[in-house]
Amino acid sequence: MWAIAVLASLVILIALALCMPIDVVLRMDTEKKPKFSINIVWPFGLVNIEILKGGKYPPQHKHKPRDNFKTIFDILRTKGLLTRLIKLLRDILRCIKVRELDADLKVALDNPADTGLLFAFVAPLNLILRSFAPQKIRIEPSFDDTFLKGYFQGKARLQPIRLIPPLLAFSFSMPAMKVFKSLLSNK
């Protein structure tokens, strides 16, 4: 009887931990030296993990090329997989709540004419974003030598328990089952 009580309390504890929101803060500053950082804050500020700090980037692992291209092409040709992946991505993005978005960027391309063409497309979108969105976003052209100058800061909140239904729906869909079956048969 006590084993059932321990298991039930463990399940309740895990469910409560998954209900606590995770705050993700993304910062980028390119004024002097490019700096990029990601902070993950969970439960309500008690745990604060800084993934990237300063100008450091995550280490990149070198993978050996695999000769199993047939398996990859079989997975990509699975009927209905692309639509299920798009639906999964859309459902995950619905679970993420953007709390703050602040950007002041100046973008330059190698050719000033290319920069002008880029901002012929970006300027109307930037105007719409500034007038209707509560976030402060400003993107301007720059005709200097630097490609990207300015800063960006975004804060988002996510409850991990809200990710479970989309992930389960994708995992038990027919295209995902076919992919899983083809991966098991090729091993």
pLDDT tens digit sequence for 46-81: 778 887 665 544 555 554 455 567 777 778 788 888
Sheet holding 22-29, edge to edge: 47-52, 35-42, 22-29, 148-158, 97-107, 136-141
The pTM of the full predicted model, rounded to 2 decimals, is: 0.65
pLDDT of the residue at 88? 93
**Which structure tokens are listed for 53?**
């700090």
| DSSP H or E run through 117 | helix 112-132
| pLDDT cut 90: percent of the chain above it | 19
| pLDDT cut 70: percent of the chain above it | 88
**Cβ partners under 8 Å of residue 82, min gap 6:** none
pLDDT of the residue at 8? 92
Distance in angstroms (rounded) separating the CA atoms of residues 98 and 158? 9
pLDDT of the residue at 87? 94
Residues of the chain falling short of pLDDT 50: 56-57, 63-64
User: Could you state, in order of their start, the residue ranges of all structural domains in the chain?
Assistant: 67-152+161-186
